Amino acid sequence: MKETIKTKISKIYILYILLRFIRNLVIDYPKWILFKIAKNWVILNRISMRLRPWLWKVTGVNIQGKVNIGYDVYYDVNCSNLIFIEDRVWITTRVLLLCHKRDLSNYYIGDDINKMPYSFGKIVLKKGCHIGMGTILMPGVTVGEGAIVGAGSVVTKDIPDWSIAVGNPAKVIKQIPRSNE
């Protein structure tokens, strides 16, 4: 009796492993290949500025309108559906868009950090915003319309429309004024 249960469980487990392998081969692996091409190929900008955003769309990023994405930009490929980019956004080189982080609300002395669950959040880049080189965008942030985030900043909270934010963590240092014309 125990032997038949063990053989059934082992067959189910083997089937599970096989199905997971097929899923990774068909769904996840092609997304990672496209991500690597979109991230690393400098020649993409020489071919067309529209090619890199198109590859991002294929991997699941929600892009509306024309956007510019620099070289070597990382994003959560498995959570790409949580990234929303509107028209005329400029993401410069080496930016990191994170849609997940460890939830440390129940982390205590002696706990294993690797067993802590993840929390997820959307990243929204509103129309016409500019993200400076080396910036890190944490989960759950919105960068407002026309806002500028300075190079090397770490965005942990929302940035309002038409403002300039810099630092770690990013803080608004200036509101962009209306034109006198």
Give the model confidence (pLDDT) of 26-58 as tens digits: 666 676 666 666 665 555 555 556 778 888 888
Q: With a cut of 90, say whether residue 148 has pLDDT above it.
A: yes
Q: What is the pLDDT of residue 43?
A: 54
Give how far Cα 136 sits from Cα of 55, 69, 155, Å: 21, 15, 6
> Angle 38-68-37 (CA atoms, 0-180°, nearest 5)?
5
CA distance 116 to 108: 10
Q: What is the pLDDT of residue 6?
A: 54
Give the model confidence (pLDDT) of 86-139 as tens digits: 999 999 989 999 999 999 999 999 999 988 999 999 999 999 999 999 999 999
Q: Which of 143, 133, 151 is nearest to 86 (CA)?
A: 143
Q: With a cut of 70, say whether residue 2 has pLDDT above it.
A: no
Q: What is the pLDDT of residue 96?
A: 95
Rounded mean pLDDT, 162-170? 96
CA distance 69 to 75: 12
Q: Beta strand 118-120 with 74-75: parallel, antiparallel or unpaired?
A: unpaired
